[in-house]
Each structure stands twice: as C-alpha cells, then as structure tokens.
Amino acid sequence: MATIPVDDLEITRQFGPHLSASTRAGTSTEPDRLVKTHCCFCGQQCGIQLKVRGNEVIGFEPWEEFPFNRGMLCPKGVKRYLQGSHPDRLLTAVRRDPSQPAGFRPMPYDEAIAFAAGEIRRLQEAHGNAAIGVLGGASLTTEKTYLLGKFARVCLKTPYIDYNGRLCMVSAGAANKKAFGIDRTTNPWSDMVGTEVIWIAGSNVAECSPITTNYVWQAREQGAKIIVQDPRITPIARTCDLFLPVRPGRDAALFAGVLHLMIENGWIDREFIAAHTVGFEQVAEYCRAFTPARTAEVTGVPERSIRKAAELWGTARSSFLLHARGIEHHSNGVQNALGTINLVLASGRIGRPKSGYGTIVGQANGQGGREHGQKCDQLPGWRDISNPEHRRHIASVWGVDERDIPGPGVDAYEMFRKIDAGEIKGLISICFNPKISLPDNEFVARALDKLEFYVAIDFFLNDTARHADLVLPGSLQEEDEGTVTQVEGRVIKINKAVDCPGEARRDWVILQDLARALGRPHGFTFSSPREVFDELRVASKGGVADYSGITYEKIERQMGVFWPCYAEDPETGRPTPDHPGTPRLFERGSYNPVARGAGPFYFPDGKARFNVAEYRTPVDDVSEEFPLFLTTGRVVSQFLSGAQTRRIGPLVRQYPEPRIEIHPRLADKLGIADGDWATCETRRGAITLRAMVVTTIRPDTIFIPYHWAGPKSANRLTVAAQDPISKIPQYKVCACRVRRAEGAPDYAARLEPQQ
C-alpha cells in the first residue's frame, strides 16, 4: 500500500524524525556503511557521507576531504536524510480516484505504466505528437536530463519540452552566451580567497549559498572589500563594506551609472578592451546618460554610494563579481546580467587567478541540467536545435533521421498557455512543482485541470501532482547514481546509498518503461546511468559543453572534473585520455574549439562581447493604487516549492510559516505591528500572512518567501511577465498594497501554535 499523504497545506504538521520502526526499535544507530556522495538540495553540491543501515539512510557524517565544502554543511544538508522513510513517500503508483478521501488510490506499477502509455498513444493518435508536453527539472542528474530530452524528441517526437531551470538560470545563461560564447562560472571558488573586491549583486548568499559565503568570509579575512546590492540588508550585507540598497528592478541603471563613472575616471583597462573585446563604444555611449544624479534618482541608491562603488570596483587589481536571482528574476533579467558582465569586461579582470565572474547556480544540477537538452531550444552539449549541423551530429548519435528530430518548443510558462488554449492535451512532469513555483499560479492550477491526461513522476505527491491522473513513484537522489555539475562547473558523482523502496523506481527506469510500453524502445534500452553517461559523452563531444573526456573514474580520482574536458585535443585532434578539465576559463593563450587559437573567448574571433545592457522599468510597476514593491525569494531552512523541506520537521520548526517582511516606518503608517496578520494584494490576488517588522528592508518594499502552497503561496501574487530573451519570470518585483487584516485567515486554525 502506498501512504497517500494528507493535503499539501498540512504537511508541515508532520514533524520528523521519520525513521522506520525497525531503526527506531534498534538499540544502536550505528551504520553498516558510509557512502560518499553529495547533498540533494542546492547548486553548491556539498560533499557528504550518508550513514546507511540496511536499506535506510539514517544520518550523515561530514566528508572532510571534498575540496569545495571541506565537511561543512548547512541546515538543509544536515537534515536531508529524513526524507527517505517519511510516511508521505510514494511506495506505489497512485491513480486519481475522487471516491477516496485522499483523492487517489494505489495502482500496481506495471498497470500504471500501461495506463500512461495508453493515454499518451490515444492523445497523440487523435491530436498529433505535439499534443503531449514534457516538463523536466534541474535537480535531476545530468544522465536523467539527457535521457528526458531524448525521450521527448525521439520517443514522443514532441517539440514541447522545457524545465524548471527556466525559472532560475536562464537569464544568466543567455547573458553568458551573448558575452562569452559559453555559459559557466569562470573560476573555482578557491580563487576568491586573496581577491581585493567581491561584488554580490542580488544574492542572499548567507541563506541560499552558505558555502559560497564561507569563501566570501575567507576573502574578507584576507582584506577583500565586499559590496552588496540588494533591497534588503541580508545577513551578508550586515558586515559588508558598501551596501547598495537598490530599488527593485533598477539594477541595469545602477550598472550603467557605475560604468559611466569608471569611464569618466579612467578606471577601465583600455588595453584589455582593445585586445579582447568588441562593442565597448556602444556601451560607453549608452552609459553616458546615466550620470550619478540620474542613477541615484532611478535606483534609490545614494549618489555617494554609487561613486564609492565605482571607485572600489574601478581601482581594484583583482576582483570577483557574483550574482544570483535578485538581478536575474526580472523581465529585464538578461540586460541586468549583461550589465554586470560589462563591469567585469571593462575592468579586464577575468581569465586569471583571483579574478573572476560567476552567476551562482541555484538547483542541485542547475549547471548540468541546462546543458544537455531538456531546454526547449537545445540539444546535448549546449547545441542548438535549430542548427542543421548540430542536429545532424545528435541524429547520428541517436540513430535517427535528422528530419525526425522536432524543432524548438516553447518555454515552461508558454506551455501552460498552450495547455490553457487546448493545444497541449497531455503532460508528463518530473521533478517540477509548477503550481507553487510559477508566477500567477492560480492560472497554472486552472490550466492543469484542463489537461486530458497528466502524469507526474515524483517521490512525494506534490501540490501540482494533486492535479494528476496518475503519479509514478520516482527515486530520491540517494537511490540512484549519476553526475551533476555544481556551481563552479565541476562535474561530480552522486553515489547510490540505498535501493528504491516498494514499487518506486529509478526515474530513468520509469522513462524507459514508458518508451517500451509505447512500443518505441529504440534508444531507451540502457541498463545503467553509466551507459547513459557514455552516450552523453559522445553526444556532447564537439559542443561547447564538451564532457567527452569525463569518466566516472576520472571524477572519483580528481574529486570532480571541470568541463570542458576533451577526449581529443581540440587543437591537434589527438586522443587526450588525461585531459584534466578546465578549472579556469579564458586564460590568455588558452585554446578553445570555437576560437581555434584566435583568443580566449568562445567566439570565432576569440573576443568577448560588450552588450548594451538597457534599463527598462519593470512590468506592473508601482502606482497610486498599488504603491509598494513586492519582492520574493528564500529563507535558509526551506528549499524551493517546499515539497521536500516542508516535510522535514526540524527545518519546518526553524521557519514554520511565510511572513511579510516590512520596514517599521511602513508598518507604522499602515498600523501593523510585528506578528499581526496582514494582507498583501496585487493585481492577481491577495494572501494573508503574519507581518515580520524588520529594519533590514527598504521602506517602499516588502518581501515574502515563496516556499508554501495554497493561501500561503507568494506566487498567487506575482506577475507572469517574462524576459523577452530568456523567458524568465519577473519574480523579484511587482506592485502591491498591504493592509492590516480584519482577522486570521481560514488556514490559521490548522496551524501549530506560534513559537
């Protein structure tokens, strides 16, 4: 029997630890073995050792030797082991059945696969192959994401596949490709220690990238100056040297204003700009209008702070620029990211030790998951699905006719618009919880109910899966092996600790079982993740994200391999079994297969591109009716849609409920005291939460973390505006108004007492 979980709003009441009866009854919690692997949550991918007893993960031990985190872990990594034996874990497939109290009943696995295949075939025969859409996720291993992309194109022959990284890394990815021709952080984080200046734009690193924070602290101990740009004084900002309290959605203007001053004061590296870049003059021309006075007016950052930023950044000899979703989750997200890159290129401080640029990866496999073909316009190796040469290469690896590979699809949100319009009638989702995580999510819920058939693959019945006709029981990270690529670009190996319980199956096995049941098993007969990886190596060869020289053994030997890693020297064509990988990109004199010796950047002329990074006001900006900025993001103890972390008792207790962060001046004006119920309303909807009065936020801005469902979901409020290039949603700003609530919301009756 599957345990069919209670409704998603209530899961926070199920406190851990959830160890099985046998383990609880045991006299000792000594493990049988330790398995070296990595955390299942964020893109830092800390090394960890899982303690395993029988077929159960019962705890963890630090893995001191792993070079990135050296045994350090954050609260989430420490508690991740509590998921495996959680009572909500899906142990069988479950099929919708309104007659049951939970709305679902268990279904034997083989029957469930046959049912799903029958529905997919029915819809494709009636409406064409494109009637089925596929949604993937960047918490999956690279092997799974590769297989999923192939499954959509070869088995289902649908163009409609996209993934949850669309909500995360795509603005940075698009900007990196435009500026450098390659999309990867440029340096290992150890390069940060000893640098002179670190600029952190739009990232709450202390809560979201705790290990990166440790590198920042080490750098600071050695004298680095820290600049933080955020509408909130986040924990890292409390000790920084310069804080830039930017008004939400105004980052591109700030970058332009800083570059303006750098140019005016001669704080730029003219030699580097001339030798290694193109496009500087147009950018300089654009920045001319961003005088300090105008920049201050647009951004809300005092003029003296803008001058100080330009001086600190402009006169440094070594530096790091880091950014995350705070500047990327915007309808201007690509422009914002290009604005940071312009500051880096103008300084000339890239491609050498102690100087680098990086966009901080979010999801576990945020990097690998965006390289090998689960994006709507992409084929493995960062290849372009519209490029005939790229298509021919992949068709030859897959053993199909190039004409049979569908063209580009659409982004994940657009897929929901197509579902709403009745064009996409069937959906397969894996590792994605769009009902919580997409903006304006009441629309998403309505669209889900229009699907004729929806099958989700997950180990928990998440909020979106509640709309499914069928949920197939997938695997937890520790139940499978495979690779992921972490924040620095280091490909690492996840090792299997336990077998899937009950009728749960490894995700890639489920995909292959579906292919077989559909009568289209060609290309889906792998017997292990290693076999999938070996095909991926061939498929990625010659692409920008070239993994051909990486093997499981090399990863183990080197504790990770930075891509690109070539099986054949791109310069000589000779086999290079010992290619160590590429920890630092763009070093002078380095060779890459695109520039072929012309220069360090991944364009035929070897030069990086300056791009005019245009400032535009956000969509749904403040007005008289909605006078405040709403911004959304994270807290340290919760992860993404909360499907996993809201089930882990100790993490829930750390921050049980979402709250509205509000400045005391604003709170006073609105008659709201700390702990009061307050209603936040936007043009999409309203939610009522407790207020948390803090002095660490701009008085014109409120902040709500988004990890909760239903009436506590911040995405009931957010706007579905998207960046025109990357299609990332504008989560970080929309207009709202706040009032003291009349009374407690309905759900409050079901809450734990306030602590």
Ligand X SMILES: Nc1nc2c(c(=O)[nH]1)N[C@H]1C(S)=C(S)[C@@H](COP(=O)(O)OP(=O)(O)OC[C@H]3O[C@@H](n4cnc5c(=O)[nH]c(N)nc54)[C@H](O)[C@@H]3O)O[C@H]1N2
Given the rule CB under 6 A, which residues bind ligand X?
42, 137, 139-140, 164, 167-168, 201-205, 207-209, 229-232, 234, 246, 248-249, 251, 324-327, 329, 362-363, 430-434, 437, 457-460, 462, 474-475, 477, 507, 631-634, 636, 638-641, 643-644, 703, 706, 714-715, 718, 731-733
Which positions from 481 through 520 interact with Mo ion, judged by CB under 5 A?
none
Nearest distance, CB of residue 137 and ligand X, angstroms: 5
73 binds, among ligand SF4, Mo ion, ligand X, none (CB under 5 to 8 A by kind): ligand SF4
Nearest distance, CB of residue 487 and ligand SF4, angstroms: 9
Q: Does 361 sit near Mo ion (CB under 5 A)?
A: no
CB atoms within 10 A of CB 44: 29
77 binds, among Mo ion, ligand X, ligand SF4, none (CB under 5 to 8 A by kind): ligand SF4
Nearest distance, CB of residue 210 and ligand SF4, angstroms: 5
Alpha carbon distance 715, 79 (integer Å): 26
39 binds, among Mo ion, ligand X, ligand SF4, none (CB under 5 to 8 A by kind): ligand SF4
Site track for ligand SF4 across 50-89, x = CB under 6 A: -----------------------xx-xx------------
Q: Strand, helix or coil at 390?
A: helix
Nearest distance, CB of residue 363 and Mo ion, angstroms: 5
CB closer to ligand X, 415 vs 457: 457
Quick one: 524 exposed, middle or buried, by C-beta within 10 A (0-12, 13-18, 19+)?
buried
Cis peptide bond upstream of 600, omega within 30: no
Q: In which element (H, E) is residue 308 found?
A: helix 303-315
Exactly one of 46, 73, 155, 168 binds Mo ion (CB under 5 A); that residue is 168
Nearest distance, CB of residue 307 and ligand X, angstroms: 18
Distances (CA, A) of 127 to 132, 215, 341, 590: 9, 53, 45, 51
156 binds, among Mo ion, ligand X, ligand SF4, none (CB under 5 to 8 A by kind): none
Nearest distance, CB of residue 632 and ligand X, angstroms: 4
Q: Does 362 sit near Mo ion (CB under 5 A)?
A: yes
Q: For 94, phi and psi rounded to 5 degrees?
A: -130, 140
Tell me whether strands 378-379 and 33-38 are parallel, antiparallel or unpaired.
unpaired
CB closer to ligand SF4, 46 vs 717: 46
Nearest distance, CB of residue 317 and ligand X, angstroms: 25
Q: Does 39 sit near ligand SF4 (CB under 6 A)?
A: yes
Tell me whether strands 277-278 and 608-609 are parallel, antiparallel or unpaired.
parallel
345 binds, among Mo ion, ligand X, ligand SF4, none (CB under 5 to 8 A by kind): none
Q: Does 46 sit near ligand SF4 (CB under 6 A)?
A: yes
687 binds, among ligand SF4, Mo ion, ligand X, none (CB under 5 to 8 A by kind): none
Alpha carbon distance 141, 368 (integer Å): 8
Q: For 301, phi and psi rounded to 5 degrees?
A: -90, 130
- Using left for φ > 0, alpha for ψ between -120 and 50, and beta otherwise, residue 589 falls in left
**Measured at CB, which residue is nearest to Mo ion?**
362
Quick one: 564 exposed, middle or buried, by C-beta within 10 A (0-12, 13-18, 19+)?
buried
Alpha carbon distance 704, 680 (integer Å): 10
CB closer to ligand X, 53 vs 144: 144
* Piece in contact with ligand SF4 (CB under 6 A), picked from 34-42, 254-262, 576-584, 659-667: 34-42
Q: Does 41 sit near ligand SF4 (CB under 6 A)?
A: yes
Nearest distance, CB of residue 41 and ligand SF4, angstroms: 4
Tokens found for residue 161 = 């596949």
Nearest distance, CB of residue 169 and Mo ion, angstroms: 7
Chain centroid to CA 419: how far? Answer: 24
CB atoms within 10 A of CB 697: 24
Strand order in the sheet with 482-485: 482-485, 490-494, 561-562
Which string of b and e fits 277-290 if b means at least 16 CB within 10 Å?
Answer: bebbeebbebbeeb
CB closer to ligand SF4, 211 vs 310: 211
Distances (CA, A) of 409 to 133, 379, 573, 655: 9, 12, 35, 39
Any bridge partners for residue 105, and if so which?
95
CB closer to ligand X, 477 vs 485: 477
609 binds, among Mo ion, ligand SF4, ligand X, none (CB under 5 to 8 A by kind): none
Alpha carbon distance 101, 406 (integer Å): 42
Tell me whether strands 734-740 and 677-681 are parallel, antiparallel or unpaired.
antiparallel
Nearest distance, CB of residue 633 and Mo ion, angstroms: 10
Cis peptide bond upstream of 302, omega within 30: no
Question: Any idea what the Cα angle at residue 245 is, between residues 242 and 251, rounded to 5°?
Answer: 105
CB closer to ligand X, 143 vs 269: 143
CB closer to ligand SF4, 44 vs 204: 44
45 binds, among Mo ion, ligand SF4, ligand X, none (CB under 5 to 8 A by kind): ligand SF4
Nearest distance, CB of residue 298 and ligand X, angstroms: 12
632 binds, among ligand SF4, ligand X, Mo ion, none (CB under 5 to 8 A by kind): ligand X
Of 401, 406, 369, the C-alpha closest to 153 is 406
Nearest distance, CB of residue 573 and ligand X, angstroms: 38
Chain centroid to CA 476: how far? Answer: 18
Alpha carbon distance 124, 478 (integer Å): 35
Nearest distance, CB of residue 538 and ligand X, angstroms: 24
Alpha carbon distance 747, 35 (integer Å): 41
CB closer to ligand X, 42 vs 492: 42
Residues of the shown chain interacting with ligand SF4 in the complex, contacts defined by CB under 6 A: 39, 41-42, 44-46, 73-74, 76-77, 210-211
Residues of the shown chain interacting with Mo ion in the complex, contacts defined by CB under 5 A: 168, 362
